[in-house]
Amino acid sequence: MGLESIGISEIIKKDVKVIDQEQNIFAASKVMIDNSIGSVVIIDNNDSKNPVGIITERDVVRIVSTFSLSDLEVPIRELMSNPLITLSQNASVLDAMKLMYERKIRRVIVLEGNTLSGIVTEHDLFKLLMSNRELITTVIAPDSPIPQKELYEDFSHFWFSNSFYK
């Protein structure tokens, strides 16, 4: 079994926290804190709920450090990262890993058509690898689409930054 044979839908988190694009950075930060998560998906409105962007913890730090207090009230649509980088729910775990590596991102939004289906993070991918150790050999193979040096760095970062290994 390889990473290309495992569907991304098997590991996504379906309970994705969202806020309307007209809310502000404080609303996004509150959702992250209240739910102990690192990002919030931004939707166009509460009726259609189409995902249009994302705000991450890093974005919040960047925004807070560069804006004046009055600027923090602007709608989140003006601050969010977009266009949204997405995968189809029919994609594989390998597709997610490649996309994250190529785009230098830590999370990918998963869609069913245009509808938000879930989110997958680098943490989810590493948890999968650590729970199915035979998969690690497929990732570190010489023909892997992710260069081994970067992969080893990512493994080291993940391994030493997660409390369940401390």
Q: Which domains does the chain have, with CATH numbers?
A: 3-165 (3.10.580.10)
Q: What is the pLDDT of residues 115-135, one digit of tens each?
A: 899 999 988 888 888 787 777
3-state secondary structure of 41: strand
* 149 vs 106, more confident: 106
Query: Which tokens hold the place of 131?
Result: 């729970």
Q: What is the pLDDT of residues 60-88, one digit of tens each?
A: 888 888 877 776 788 999 988 889 999 99
Global confidence as pTM: 0.80
pLDDT for residue 164 is more than 60? no
- Ramachandran angles phi, psi of 37, nearest 5°: -125, 165
What is the pLDDT, as a whole number, of residue 2? 78
Give the span between the Cα atoms of 125 and 100, in whole angstroms: 10
Q: What is the pLDDT of residues 10-63, one digit of tens each?
A: 999 999 999 999 999 999 999 999 999 999 999 998 787 899 999 999 998 888
Residue with tokens 């290309």: 4
